[in-house]
Amino acid sequence: MIQKSRFAPSPTGYLHLGNARTALFAWLAARHDGGHFLLRIEDTDRERSPQQYEDALLEDLRWLGLDWDEGPDCGGDFGPYRQMERLGIYGELYQRLLDAHLAYPCYCTPEMLAAEREAQRAAGRAPRYSGRCRELDAAARAELEALGRQPSLRFRVASTGRLRVDDLIWGEREYSLEDLGDFVIRRSDGSPAFFFANAVDDALMGVDLVLRGEDHLSNTPRQILILQALGMKAPTYGHLPLLLGSDGQPLSKRHGAASLRDLRAEGFLPEAVRNYLARLGHHYGEADGRLLTDEELRREFRLDAIGRAPAHFDLAQLEHWQAQAVQSSTTEQLAQWLAPVLDESLSPAERLAFVELIRPNIRFPAQARDWLQRFVRDPEPDEEALDVLRETPEAFWMVAAATFEAENGDWKDWVTALQEASGRRGRALFQPLRAALTGRLHGPELAGWCRLLGAERCRQRLSQAGRRARVAV
Ligand code: GLU
Ligand code: ZN
């Protein structure tokens, strides 16, 4: 049973899809068990974390349908939820580690450390901290400080022994402590290092499940060592396989999507994005084939259905879910989604009827805009429609107009009468009508289109087609 999971982004840019998937999985895992979900802002990279990105992050997560019980906006019992507001908490913990000789100040400069790594590499050894400052005495420290050196704080790792780490997705791994080397837990500018703040915050906030990207897998042993040293309980860690583009390269704009914002701007519905992301590296078994409601996504989510293979972003799949989401939205939801493209030319009632009419023919708002233009103005026929209009003789349009009048524009009666009078049926009958009334050969159901368009505009379009035919001969 998961009591509490979390998402802990660093707000250094817009939420990209890999992180959005991580957030969604962590949320689904918590909500599956009725557990809590918290949001923590890891803003320790001061220059790169402007407020604007934090605001955008919260907005994007909400758009995706996520909610949280604790976070920077709503507070909670274990706050604050921005790491830069927790420096006092970290300070006390650093002191505890110092007092227990589990941490020590390191005065090495970046140049010294780089040279050290270089020498190790040249000697064919894996680079790690040499331990130069491990045993400095008070006098040596004072001397270095007199030189103006600002120390970082390093965690002292035992030089022998092994650490076993269990991962929900990758199983058990063993690490030699010697290979880890002493690592920085507080930078020389006083800010907390990722390993440290991230690990202690999870423990202090009562998080028992950490789902995060595979790129953090190798950080876990260090984080567990910190928690052990502080006598804190480590959460269960699960590292999600990377999310790559269809070509196996890191996901970027040229794969059709990089950030959640991009998808939203293109008109993707959150239901579609949720359904898609929830299946990237996770399967729903029997329920995989159909669009799942929010409730179903949570109920059917299973941590043991997360695979180890990298997930590949596939725009066609996402568009498939988009089509499903459009089909399953209510009329009101559709109207709201399309509100930015449906202008004032339609009354509220017409708007609802119109979105229902075009629902099967759209996946994105831009397509709705196109149909709207074809609806409110005399539609400019596309290439195919133009061909059909050119091939249809004026006589047909005269019969069409006459029967339309005779049957008072009633679709069924009109079609029956026109069939008899013109001798055309099926495609031969409907293609020219469609071309004249919509400017395209495929689209919304024609009877409904005519009804909504009203007799007057139908009449105009039929006679316009007739004029075009006359000019053409
Ligand atoms: N701030 C880290 C990141 O965005 C968090 C990693 C984690 O979830 O533990 O990569
Ligand atoms: Zn040092």
Structure token pair of residue 113: 């450390």
CATH number, span 1-75+241-328: 3.40.50.620
pLDDT digit string, tens, across residues 385-423: 999 999 999 999 999 999 999 999 899 999 999 999 999
* CB contact set of 389 (below 8 Å; sequence gap of 6+): 381, 432, 435, 436, 465, 468, 469
Nearest CA to ligand 1 atom 3: 9
Q: For residue 331, is pLDDT > 70?
A: yes
* Amino acid present at 251: L
Percent of residues, the chain, with pLDDT higher than 90: 88
Q: What is the b/e burial string over 157-171, where b = at least 16 CB atoms within 10 angstroms of the residue's CB?
A: beeeeebebeebbbe
Residue 166, CA distances (Å) to 5, 306, 394 in order: 17, 16, 78
Class of domain 383-472 (CATH, top level)? mainly alpha
Question: Residue 298's closest CA among 67, 33, 63, 4?
Answer: 33
pLDDT at 300 over 70: yes
Q: Is the CB of 82 under 6 A from ligand 1?
A: no
Give yes or no for residue 155 having a pLDDT over 70. yes
Q: How far is the CA of 191 from the centre of ligand 2 (A)?
A: 17
pLDDT of residue 472 exceeding 70: no
Superfamily assignment of 86-240 in CATH? HUPs (3.40.50.620)
Count CB atoms within 10 A of the CB of residue 191.
18
Q: What's the whole-number mean pLDDT along residues 357-386?
A: 94
Q: Is 106 annotated as contributing to ligand binding? A: yes
What's the pLDDT score for residue 250? Answer: 80
Q: Which pLDDT value is given to residue 254? A: 73
pLDDT of 166 > 90? The answer is: yes
C-alpha closest to that of 306 among 282, 275, 288? 282
- Closest ligand 1 atom number to CA of residue 202: 9
- Bridge partners, residue 259, by sequence: 16
Q: Do domains 1-75+241-328 and 383-472 have the same CATH topology?
A: no
The pTM score is 0.91
Looking at residue 271, its pLDDT comes to 96
Q: How confident is the model at residue 285 (pLDDT cuts 50, 70, 90)?
A: confident
Q: Is the pLDDT of residue 463 over 90?
A: yes
pLDDT at 164 over 90: yes
Q: Is the CB of 192 under 6 A from ligand 1?
A: no
What pLDDT, on a 0 to 100 scale, did the predictor assign at position 335?
Answer: 94
Task: Using the mean position of ligand 1's atoms as its centre, give its distance from the Cα of residue 295 in Å.
Answer: 27
Report, as residue numbers or ranges, the catalytic residues. 253
Q: Identify whether the C-beta of residue 214 lies closer than 8 Å to the C-beta of residue 239.
A: yes
* CB distance 5 to ligand 1 below 6 Å: no
Asked which of 117-121, 254-258, 335-339 is least confident by mean pLDDT, the reply is: 254-258
Question: pLDDT tens for residues 37-61?
Answer: 999 999 998 777 788 999 999 999 9
Q: What is residue 86's predicted lDDT score, i.e. its pLDDT?
A: 98
Place of tokens 């910190």: 226
- Which atom of ligand 1 lies nearest, measured to the CA of 6? 8
Q: Cα(10) to centroid of ligand 1, in Å?
A: 7
pLDDT confidence bin for 106, thresholds 50/70/90: very high
Distance from Cα 108 to the centre of ligand 2, integer Å? 4
Instruction: Using the predicted structure, report yes or no on whether residue 153 has a pLDDT greater than 90.
Output: yes
Mean per-residue pLDDT, 155-170 = 95
Nearest ligand 1 atom to alpha carbon 216:
6
Structure tokens at 36: 């809590």
Percent of the chain whose predicted confidence (pLDDT) is above 70: 99
Residue identifier of the C-alpha nearest atom 5 of ligand 1: 8
258 lines ligand 1 (CB under 6 A): no
Retrieve residue 257's tokens. Answer: 């999507």
Q: What is the pLDDT of residue 469?
A: 82
Residue 212 CB less than 6 A away from ligand 1: yes
Closest to 451 (Cα-Cα) out of 375, 394, 360? 375
Give the model confidence (pLDDT) of 213-232 as tens digits.
Answer: 999 999 999 999 999 999 99
Tell me the domain boundaries of the chain.
1-75+241-328, 86-240, 383-472
Structure tokens belonging to residue 310? 């990298």
| Mean model confidence pLDDT for the chain | 94
* DSSP-assigned states of every residue in 240-301: EPPEE-TTSSBP-GGGT-SBHHHHHHTT--HHHHHHHHTTSSB--GGGGGSPPPHHHHHHT-
What does residue 65 show for φ and ψ, rounded to 5 degrees?
A: 105, 10
**473 pLDDT higher than 70:** no
